[in-house]
Chains A and B, each alone.
Chain A
Amino acid sequence: MFQRLTRERQLSLTIFIDGTATPARHGDTVAAAMLGSGYVACRTTAVSGAPRGPYCLMGVCFDCLVKIDGDANRQACMTTVQDGMRIETQRGKREYST
């Protein structure tokens, strides 16, 4: 788990993680906001269904893939949070939708 050294009032944004309203700091990446709110895992793998969470936080490992505003397989560590953003954790491989 992670906790913030900054004060609560800095958490001025709200994002929704699997439907749950979650506070975030302006400038957080989606991955940071998730880890800061207790989400250690963010998906299960397409190959074996094993749980995974952010590993490198710098865009290299692709383990932090989540669905962001309906768009699957986005790197949570490379996406900056926006107020009202909708994040969904992923299970297995993404489904194709039109």
Chain B
Amino acid sequence: MIVASALRDRYDVAVVGAGPAGLAAAALCARAGLACALFDDQPNPGGQIYRGVTNSPFDRGTVLGGDYWSGESLVCAALGSGAHYFSGASVWGLLRENEIAVSLGGSTRQIRATRIILATGAIERPFPIQGWTLPGVMTAGAAQILLKSSALVPTGRVLLAGCGPLLWLLAWQYLNAGVRLHTILDTAPAANWRRALRHAAAFVASPYMAKGLRLMFDVRREVRVVPGVVEIAGEGGGRIGAVVYRTARGRSERLAADMLLLHQGVVPNVNLAMSANIAHRWSEGQLCWVPRVDSYGSTTVPHITVAGDGAGIAGAEAAEARGRLAAIATIRALKEEFPVGELERAARQSLDRYQRGRAFLDCLYQPAPNFRRPRGDTLVCRCEEVTARQVLETAALGCPGPNQMKAFLRCGMGACQGRFCGLTVTELMAEARGLPCAEIGYYRLRPPVKPITLAEIASLPVDGAAVKAVARE
């Protein structure tokens, strides 16, 4: 096990997150001769997209698809680059004076890095429907993680519901693995097509188009797909037992279910960046918060750069290119003599290629308002079990935003620190108050951005000045 004492006190660059952006950034920084630490809270490198690629239960085959295996060379390049890779390392705070608080192996350390590259990636967008907290209901991403890292597939009556590329990819991978899916409840609103078509020309030139069409064609041939689903509720006692849905045309049905896998896109994992006081903006296109960055990922905090999906969703290949661009900006600042001109041209070319047509996907798979802004006793906050009605009532009482509401309801104060309720709360309060989301704002996030134990804090090495600061005469 990697322990905290293996950490140096100081690095030139610290990269947080070992998905495509972090791996690419760390590899390039190390190649330029910078002392680079790569922190990742997962047990193995690859991020979620290349999860388990170095210790996969599968032989290279057709189940996961060729794109997945391309992650292997990226991981190898980073691990062989000279960057110090720390798995199971949870970065819980970016503090004053370039300090990074990181927990690993049960203890915590504060180290320094001249520059920091955040590559914290994406998390699933909340999908607040009745019954989404029942055992047996999971995100599609979760189901895919089980497939990639443990070759686990669901059995019984399996339902997929939602919209977005990952939903179709997972269904396709299940077909390859011989899993029988019962039904896919497609929630992509028909009206989205009209808006998406404006961006169709760009999407036709995207490498994703042919792949996407192929996936959907294969899946639709084998699985029952119900289009235009506008309402979904999970039912059950100790676990999911049935799913009730209604379509825009008014048809409704109750299906027995053993598993319900939900997905309506992914959003940037912004907790660490926000806690470091990096300015964020509300993206109307992607309906989420994104850090304000320039074309290298440089933020409003001079020594911190954000790369990959954490700076706005664009996919794995784009993340890799954005990781390189963040590294290039870092190398220019710290190691001027290292030539990066050619590398930058290549990274920008790749980024252009993979970002082409992204607006088409953003429009087509934008989740419908009723799946983003629930009503009644549907849980908004899974941790503190706060309902949509409670949030709306608090807004009606005159609560201006999420932080004041939180003080009334504890919504967002649980262990997930708002990651699965924050966007819902912003959108609900914006609707209730008739204001744009940008004006409603978000939870004020502070370190630690992951729960840590007192024992971990107590393990911090203490110097004389720290003792003097709190000791009584």
A80 neighbours in B (Cβ, 8 Å): 43
**Is the beta-carbon distance between B420 and A60 smaller than 8 angstroms?**
yes
**Is the beta-carbon distance between B177 and A61 smaller than 8 angstroms?**
no
Given known A35-B152, A55-B137, contact A1–B142 (CB-CB < 8 A): no
- Selected contact of B41 from candidates A29, A45, A54, A59, CB within 8 Å: A59
**Is the beta-carbon distance between B416 and A45 smaller than 8 angstroms?**
no
CB proximity to A under 8 Å, residues B411-449: 414-416, 419-420
CB proximity to B under 8 Å, residues A75-98: 78, 80
Closest to A24 in B: B150
B384 neighbours in A (Cβ, 8 Å): 47
**Is the beta-carbon distance between B57 and A6 smaller than 8 angstroms?**
yes
CB proximity to B under 8 Å, residues A21-47: 25, 27-29, 32-33, 35-36, 40-42, 45, 47
**Is the beta-carbon distance between B146 and A51 smaller than 8 angstroms?**
no
Please tell me if B136 contacts chain A, counting CB pairs below 8 Å. yes
B141 neighbours in A (Cβ, 8 Å): 56-58
Given known A51-B238, A56-B123, contact A29–B138 (CB-CB < 8 A): no
Complex Cα–Cα for A30 and B420 (A): 22
Please tell me if B385 contacts chain A, counting CB pairs below 8 Å. yes
CB distance from A33 to the nearest CB of B (A): 8
**Is the beta-carbon distance between A56 and B154 smaller than 8 angstroms?**
no
Given known A51-B238, A59-B41, A61-B382, contact A2–B155 (CB-CB < 8 A): yes
**Is the beta-carbon distance between B135 and A4 smaller than 8 angstroms?**
no
CB distance from A18 to the nearest CB of B (A): 15
Please tell me if B190 contacts chain A, counting CB pairs below 8 Å. no
- Selected contact of A51 from candidates B57, B123, B134, CB within 8 Å: B134
**Is the beta-carbon distance between B149 and A29 smaller than 8 angstroms?**
yes
Closest to B124 in A: A56
Closest to B258 in A: A1
Closest to A50 in B: B133
Complex Cα–Cα for A11 and B123 (A): 30
Please tell me if B42 contacts chain A, counting CB pairs below 8 Å. yes
Given known A53-B239, A56-B139, A63-B382, contact A3–B153 (CB-CB < 8 A): yes
- Selected contact of B239 from candidates A40, A60, A61, A65, CB within 8 Å: A40
Please tell me if A10 contacts chain B, counting CB pairs below 8 Å. yes
Closest to A1 in B: B155
**Is the beta-carbon distance between B57 and A5 smaller than 8 angstroms?**
yes
Q: Determine chain A's interface SS by DSSP, over half rule.
A: loop
B305 neighbours in A (Cβ, 8 Å): none
A51 neighbours in B (Cβ, 8 Å): 134-135, 238-239
**Is the beta-carbon distance between A55 and B414 smaller than 8 angstroms?**
no
- Selected contact of A48 from candidates B138, B142, B259, B385, CB within 8 Å: B385
- Selected contact of B155 from candidates A3, A27, A28, CB within 8 Å: A3
1/0 contact string of B83-119 vs chain A (CB within 8 Å): 0000010000000000000000000000000000000
**Is the beta-carbon distance between B149 and A27 smaller than 8 angstroms?**
yes
Please tell me if A62 contacts chain B, counting CB pairs below 8 Å. yes
Please tell me if B55 contacts chain A, counting CB pairs below 8 Å. yes
Please tell me if B383 contacts chain A, counting CB pairs below 8 Å. yes
A50 neighbours in B (Cβ, 8 Å): 133, 385
Please tell me if B145 contacts chain A, counting CB pairs below 8 Å. yes
A3 neighbours in B (Cβ, 8 Å): 152-153, 155
Complex Cα–Cα for A55 and B259 (A): 11
1/0 contact string of B25-66 vs chain A (CB within 8 Å): 000000000000000011110001000100101100001000
A25 neighbours in B (Cβ, 8 Å): 57, 150
A40 neighbours in B (Cβ, 8 Å): 135-136, 239
Closest to A3 in B: B155
Given known A1-B155, A47-B385, A48-B385, contact A61–B150 (CB-CB < 8 A): no
CB distance from B323 to the nearest CB of A (A): 19
**Is the beta-carbon distance between B416 and A60 smaller than 8 angstroms?**
yes
Given known A25-B150, A41-B135, A50-B133, contact A56–B385 (CB-CB < 8 A): no
**Is the beta-carbon distance between A62 and B416 smaller than 8 angstroms?**
yes
B135 neighbours in A (Cβ, 8 Å): 40-42, 51-53
Of residues A40, A55, A73, which shows the largest number of chain B Cβ atoms within 10 Å of its Cβ?
A55
Chain A contacts to B: CB under 8 angstroms: 1-6, 10, 25, 27-29, 32-33, 35-36, 40-42, 45, 47-48, 50-63, 65, 73, 78, 80
Known: A25-B57, A47-B384, A55-B139. 7 other contacts (CB 8 A): A2-B154, A5-B151, A40-B136, A48-B385, A57-B141, A62-B383, A78-B88
Q: List 23 A-B contacts (CB under 8 A).
A: A1-B155, A2-B155, A5-B63, A5-B152, A25-B57, A27-B150, A28-B150, A41-B135, A41-B239, A42-B135, A48-B385, A50-B133, A50-B385, A52-B135, A54-B138, A56-B124, A56-B420, A57-B145, A57-B146, A59-B41, A60-B124, A60-B269, A80-B43
